[in-house]
Amino acid sequence: MNNNLTEQTLVLLKPDALDRGIVGEIITRFERLGVKIVGLKLLISAEDTAMKHYNEDLEQRKGKKIRDTMIKLITSGPIVVLVLEGIDVIEVTRKMVGATEPKSAAPGTIRGDYAHMSYHYADQKGIGVFNLIHASTSLEEAILEINLWFKPEELVSHTPGYTKMTLHE
């Protein structure tokens, strides 16, 4: 992180986002907002990494079945892992992503615009909720998640060109 005014957050574009071919659209929404991408990877998550991401704390809060389903979903295909940087980027990103249950997500959010599945439907079918995206919920969680998915040397510190131009005018 560059200074105490900016923060970083982790975003995972899940296999259903890749299956739908909307990764570029989702990333574009963050770029248009003006936050910086400082880390970007395409990978298939190892199960042990997914288990660390969806850790025992999740199991205590939501139950073993939910945790196992989330691990199964995140390891079912390729994911895009991003680190975004900006002012209040954790809160702003969470607002952009929308409610965890796509059916409840407001129009204009990523989940509200691109997904519609309900918890009830997923439970009835015995499947996970296809909600396209994960975003860190707090600074503490963001730090843990970024360190899980990225080595420090994989993050790139940069100043966007438009910022450089305004600084020198």
pTM: 0.89
- What average pLDDT score do residues 146-165 get? 84
Give the pLDDT score at 2.
47
Residue, of 134 and 157, whose pLDDT is higher: 134
Name all domains of the chain by residue range, CATH numbers in brackets: 7-168 (3.30.70.141)
Predicted pLDDT of residue 130: 94
Q: Can you give the pLDDT at residue 22? A: 98
pLDDT digits (tens, 9 = 90+) for 15-61: 999 999 999 999 999 999 999 999 999 999 999 999 999 988 877 88
Band (pLDDT 50/70/90 cuts) for residue 3 is low
pLDDT tens-digit map of 65-124: 888 999 999 999 999 999 999 999 999 999 999 999 999 999 999 999 999 999 999 889
3-state secondary structure the chain: CCCCCCEEEEEEECHHHHHHCCHHHHHHHHHHHCCEEEEEEEECCCHHHHHHHCCHHHHHHHCHHHHHHHHHHHCCCCEEEEEEEECCHHHHHHHHHCCCCHHHCCCCCHHHHHCCCCHHHHHHHCCCCCCCEEECCCHHHHHHHHHHHCCHHHCCCCCCHHHHHHHHC
Average of per-residue pLDDT across 4-18:
94
Respond yes or no: is residue 134 known to be catalytic: yes
pLDDT greater than 60 at residue 166: no
Res 51: pLDDT: 94
Question: Which of the pair, 2 or 9, is modelled with greater confidence?
Answer: 9
The active-site residue, picked from 53, 116, 120, 134, is 134
